[in-house]
Amino acid sequence: MSSPPTINQVALGRFDASARRHQSTVILPDGRGFTPEASDGAQVIVLIASGADTGCSALAFTRDGGLAADLWFATIVEAKAVLAAEFRVTQASWVDVPVDEEDAQAFASRHYNLGETEA
């Protein structure tokens, strides 16, 4: 049985529309889908969640809490390479989320002094 993914790192980045190579469609519970998007240059909080054997997902949220990306990768190394290009996230900017933190998005907002975000 797979362990549930946990968000273990966050970073602050900026969406680079010219570098966009990965697009995702999020399927809502009612079956409708939408494509997450952000304005070019928009500041985003990027989260990486990984499980022991599930690969990892990367989520990006705009400052107001809107979903900018929802992507899956086989490895964290692959995820960070894509996020470096598409969201201008440098290797040095990744911050570990404390294991006792229940809300990684709120943690990132506090850490980067962004004020409140809507989840």
Mean pLDDT for 66-91 is: 86
Assess contact for 94 and 11: CB atoms under 8 A.
yes
Calculate the average pLDDT of the chain.
Answer: 76
C-beta contacts of 109-115 below 8 A and 24+ residues apart: 109/45, 111/10, 112/12, 112/45, 114/43, 114/45, 114/63
Q: How far is CA 40 from CA 10, 20, 43, 86, in A?
A: 20, 10, 9, 10
Indicate if the pLDDT at residue 113 is higher than 80. Answer: yes
Task: Quick: pLDDT tens for 30-59.
Answer: 666 555 566 666 778 888 887 656 788 888
What pTM, to 2 d.p., does this model score? 0.71
